[in-house]
A and B are shown apart, each in its own frame.
Chain A
């Protein structure tokens, strides 16, 4: 059974870094389920959330390999940490005026929101766990989805743990201690 592991990596905001990370996963033959990258409050530092197919051993090897990239500042496998995990999706459905009210109710139930309405369509925006988005997509399907876009997963550990690991560059392994 393939499981998904979620890695959070801080990387230098430099040209080609995304390519280096993606190329590493490709070369080592690991499948990326999703990869999100964006800036952080630190200028010059980007944060990646990488969801990779594999078990804890795979994640540990990928973590060690990511650390070998000079532009990667720190890596943490947060799969087993309490964390807030989010995806966002924009979904455009075809809704004739007479069914619009019913559609709006569905959107309401999922705590999504409508961000655009045209005579025959509406765009719903939903943020949440991948499961929730999947469920939302299922209920919208009968209307006819004309377009859909989804961000990659982003994740953050709860409490202070995430920030602490960022500072200590923890290598997530009892057996590996980085020299001072």
Chain B
């Protein structure tokens, strides 16, 4: 790998050398506190505060209102600014950085269009609970509300898509607002925070006095703990369940609770189904791992959910893509909901026992009390379900010369040994990735779950690269989503970064086409999509582009991409009309799935994948 982005581990030293004024006369004898103050511009206060919050890299785009801040940036060499090609890329990159590093990601933009371009990325971070802080410039405070050039009420615009936001009009308020923003973004259920700073606040000066006391917000209580009696009840419910199932959601990944979940499963022998964002929370190779649930989940998983008598939902929120028809959802199951956010409890699914708190802490509290129960009947039954409806074993599929996305992703998994950080876009390829790239390692999948933002993958991978300079990163994107944010290729080039990019190119907006095929009479309206020549496109960026049209070529192309030092684009020309199976139509009962068409012998070559009844 040629790239050596600024290491996230680099400890940033404060840039502003503070004057040590003499201790104030009122200080008591035992107080060694000295006033550390210096007059700084608002811009300097902004950057200094970011550094002291541990920021080493940020993603942004300059413009009129934020120019004073950019002008001061060279004084802060510890802060690496990545110039994106569109502000949406900055927000996604900040999110990718945050998801890969566990730290707060930072995006910077100017007022008006700069700020509104961030909003898709902000909403994405909101729905997936990712801590990012977006700094936006704003017109000078005397012009606020006057429809000034590039004025947008961005705190108003982002009100419903941020955890909180700030409008700062005075330099002396910048430090506190930024500190609070980082605290709010990271604590409790994380999320995005916008700090909108007027141009005059950036230009004017104020005394800077660093305050490192913990932020206290009187109305903000991010932490919750369950009642001991409820924990006791949970243990009893788990012990008495005959057909229990555990759900691993994003909360398991975010809390780093995979080890504890493995321990719980080892002790109780309860099988685990995962949400899309919870896929890396429990190793796919574990015998108790069922796989993904929901709209494109495995049939046996959804059937098992519908038959279960107890659901232990860990850090997930019963999204409609997971439940299908709420009226018929898991009708026999009692539900224990372990969730950090009280507002998620009983929002969609009636819960018998909520345990409010951090998944990790609650698992720690539960583990000493749970005991083994023999659940052979239930596990055998699920195995039977699996046997009947096992989707695929593409390894056993004869090479008929055609290239299916499943091949590509399966081979990527095999060649990377499942160890790469995979950053996916949104659509069919995202679901195929979830089905065929078997994640055994926590937090190795970065994908847009809640918002389903096409164009997410490339800029998110850019951000992840700064968080993990030494790890292998693969972008998996469709031809549609890739074209939305492909301008960020040049950002990778300018920063000298390597990621590998697999474009699953089927010449359609595949997921929409699939819906048109299933639900709209096969009328492919506005879904056939042409692409540029990705090999030439790579060349235009000074990168290597490869094209793969047969399965036999996948291996060599992936190996080549992994060996080459720079970013490589592989254009995988896959079957155009393949669909993601199984599928629960939106709003349908969870076990009313559209299944993969049965293979017909004489037409076998037209069937993308055989059902073999075997999973491995």
Contact = CB atoms under 8 A, between A and B. Distances in A.
A30 interface: no
B219 A71 contact: yes
Contact of A57 (B155, B225, B346): B346
A175 B230 contact: yes
Given A173-B342, A175-B356, A179-B224, 17 more contacts: A11-B219, A19-B156, A19-B159, A61-B347, A64-B342, A64-B345, A65-B343, A71-B219, A73-B219, A169-B221, A175-B353, A175-B355, A176-B356, A177-B226, A178-B223, A178-B224, A179-B221
Interface in A35-85: 57, 60-61, 64-65, 67-74
Interface of B: 155-156, 159-160, 163-164, 167, 184, 217-221, 223-227, 230, 341-343, 345-347, 353-356
B218 A73 contact: yes
Nearest to A73: B219
A20 interface: yes
B345 A23 contact: no
A70 B342 contact: no
Contact of A175 (B156, B223, B227, B347): B227
Contacts, number: 68
The 8 A-B pairs with the shortest beta carbon distances in the complex, nearest first, are A64-B343, A179-B223, A64-B342, A73-B219, A70-B164, A65-B343, A70-B220, A175-B354
A27 interface: yes
A72 B219 contact: yes
A16 interface: yes
Contacts of B346: 57, 60-61
B123 to A, nearest CB: 12
A131 interface: no
A174 interface: yes
The B interface is mostly helix, strand or loop, or mixed, namely mixed
A176 B221 contact: no
A100 to B, nearest CB: 48
18 contacts: A16-B155, A19-B159, A61-B343, A61-B346, A64-B342, A67-B221, A67-B342, A67-B343, A69-B164, A70-B164, A74-B219, A175-B230, A176-B354, A176-B356, A177-B227, A179-B223, A179-B224, A179-B225
A176 B219 contact: no
A23 to B, nearest CB: 5
B218 A12 contact: yes
A69 B219 contact: yes
B356 A23 contact: no
Contacts of B219: 11-12, 69-74
Nearest to B347: A61
Contacts of B220: 70
A42 to B, nearest CB: 11
Contacts of B347: 61
Contacts of A174: 227
A171 interface: yes
Contacts of B230: 175
B343 to A, nearest CB: 4
Contacts of B343: 61, 64-65, 67-68
